[in-house]
Amino acid sequence: MRPKRPSKVTVALVQMSCVPSQEANVAKAETRIAEAASAGANIVCLQELFAGQYPCQSEDHVRFGDAEPIPGPISERIAAAAARHKVAVVGSFFERRAPGLYHNTAVIYDDDGRTAGMYRKMHIPDDPLYYEKFYFTPGDLGFNSFATKYGQIGTCVCWDQWYPEAARLTALTGAEIIFYPTAIGWHPSEKAEYGASQHSAWETMMRSHAIANGVFVAAANRTGVEGNLQFWGASFLCDPNGNVLARASHDMEETLIVECNLDKVDVVRTHWPFFRDRRVDAYGAITSRYLDQNK
């Protein structure tokens, strides 16, 4: 039987820039995992699709060649890094599930390299420079969390972070920390007018998930310029009251190292008993696309 998880765990969020060389990116991620472990991290989260430059700025069939099955060479290297450094790792991969079937997939590895769980991105965007529907099939594993040596970990991926339903369902499975591997940035032509507002909305949305569900929330974003996108970094971790415990810069590679007292989940939920007061008998309509009151 697994021993009770510690009350306090240290989380590392790796914020990287990426280059065209997949090998260089994976090697950098391995180095960052090692450095985070040396700094005392128990759980390390990598950014969305860390092994390559963000592929979805155009619809290009060539980019499917970047995908691999899970397990595959890249995911096995991350699993090995987790075991080598005795840390749990959240890794985000371009998964080739079958010929013509691809997912944007996060895998949670425990500190022995064992696969604790897998999540396939559920909400798939289709926006200028984010043409993900061309590449990824929506996930079919639902929302879940997974037991690790260092606590119950849930993960969603990037566009999922805008959906309160995703965070709530993940929290309802027992998640103490919800991780969001992310690749979000500015269109340079829009940054001056909308950049501050866009970033604020992104962070505020996830802080609200922390408050509404009484969980720690951690987002690991990429940084740097790739093609026509400037990724805005600003990876952060907030506590169950929505307080930001640490935030990275917009334009530098960083690894945030943050201690989390997981016992705070119970304390906050006891004092703000949102789960107790949910009217689960009254929410059936939430599965409707829209409630048209004129019909």
176 catalytic per annotation = no
121 catalytic per annotation = yes
133 catalytic per annotation = no
Which residue among 18, 45, 48, 132 is the active-site one? 48
CA separation for the pair 278, 259 (Å, rounded): 30
Which residue among 121, 176, 238, 264 is the active-site one? 121
Which residue among 18, 158, 238, 260 is the active-site one? 158
- The residues carrying an active-site annotation are 48, 121, 158
